[in-house]
Structure 1
Amino acid sequence: MSDALFNALAAAHHSGDDLTFTRLCEENAQWIAANWVTWSRVPPELREQMKADPAQLQRSGQLVFRIAAELDLIGYRQPMDHMRGATGPSPVVRFENTVHEARQRAENGEHEECRSLLLDAIGELEGNAGAEAILAQGHVELAMADARLGDLPSAIDHLHTARDLEQRAGHVYHLTSASLLDAFTVALRRDPETIAVRDTIAHAQMLSDIGQFAESNAELARLARSDHYLGKVYGLTGLNHFRLGDLAAAHDYTSRAVAECERAGDRAGVTIYTTNLRAIERTS
């Protein structure tokens, strides 16, 4: 029974069949929890094979973590406690509790608070081996929060992150993230304000690239009241000021770019503009 069950769970996990995966966990939860220590252990003959194939070892770890997380959510704590070697609420339970609170905030119209809670939940769970599928869920929730706030570019970024996490977790296709990504991308292409902002930033970038830094900033100043792509707007404005020799303004705008990217959960932007900020500080 144990091998057949594990193989069935593995097949559902790798094919992205979440309904079957959840059903199998629920139907067999008591047996899995009672036999977890021996059942989840990799047989010695497979362990040697996995040493030569790190990708297989990672996939196995992701599957075992996901089974433990699924059981954790329906009240069977032993598997997750065994994996963590600790007591108290597991990272997955804390994540789900925070997501639940975020959804309630959204229902009450508190969309910024919802978004902040989701960012905290994702930040706490990141780094847990095998948590990719659950983190993907968090980024889908965050994308919907961004969409409610009218920030479609950020929503699309989070959906791309969700898709990457799903693929790393072995899910080739996930209906929710894929359908939302298609819908938001189409909406963004049709949004006149977003199109105008993108065109203005592109023109400002071109001016900066050819050394017309003041003219580039004049273009960017037109976007001061826009809520779209603010990290990029502040970052390019700061870079132009740096090239013009105005280090105080460069520091101010680049700091704003870092803060905006942190607010938006844009880790690539945070890295880029933090590096720029350090370069400005070294020059000052």
Structure 2
Amino acid sequence: MQPDSLAVKAVPRPGGSVYRGRFAPSPTGALHFGSLVAAVGSWLRARQAGGSWLLRIEDLDPPREIAGAAQQQIATLAAFGMQSDEPIVWQHQRSEAYAAALQQLVADDQAFACWCSRNDLLRSNGLHQGPCVAAADPARTPAWRLRVPDLCIGFDDGLAGRFEQNLADDVGDFVLRRVEGYYAYQLAVVVDDAWQGISEIVRGADLLDSTPRQLWLQRQLGVAQPDYVHLPLALGPDGRKLSKQYAALPVDAADPLPALRAALGFLGLPAPLLAGAHTPTNLLTAATTRFDLAAIPQLPANVHLRHGMS
């Protein structure tokens, strides 16, 4: 077993005050405007705190990944003036750490094998609540789930405020390892955030309702809880979240300034505040001294991307 796989029990927040942030895209397509907003927001928070900004590639789902997308994302971020302060972490290389965490949860009777299919769970609105509906089948590979309590889990988000969720009612026992053998996002993100000593997670509000699951996992694994800031989502002209699933236009690494200015404006830094900055590096440097969470508009914004930003 590699030493990394034990770190989930051993890594607290470094020094209690050292800031470590991260950006963790999935390589399912080119970097789009919504992802750029999250990257810039997380980068600015790290730089304001004089801390580290890390890049992690969440390549856990091979069927959904696009060949070359990760390298394209890394190159695009560099063109926008953002590079990881430490070697990039690739989740596909971290399976031993996830296996060790799962073994720990099984040993603590918090995780269990499950043969329930989606059809089996239709009567409970797709939620796994209590004993399994399907019987164990040695001929089939099971999924592994985390047992959740009938308990309200809450936290204070740095931007969204108080958020609470009853895991049993709203989520049910959730998957840690899928029947295909892939580790689930919820397990991997908790293990890696602990291993890397991430002190604050800045990401899009679409992941707000994932946070209570991650908090519960953190408790069960005995690791430190980071702070959280969930940024408003950029919406397309149709009112839907800008994402690869909805064919959002990719940002242009060859001409980064228009999209970078738009992202900074979305985060409450309109162009007049950054007058005189005409390179990505200068823009980000100027933005670092002026970035303020309180200035970020609280309502989702519609973003109409021009082809000049694509």
Above 0.5 in TM-score? no
Structure showing greater relative contact order (alpha-carbon pairs closer than 8 Å, 6 or more residues apart): 2
The structure with the greater share of residues assigned to helix is: 1
Q: Larger C-alpha radius of gyration, 1 or 2? A: 1
What TM-score, normalized to structure 1?
0.24
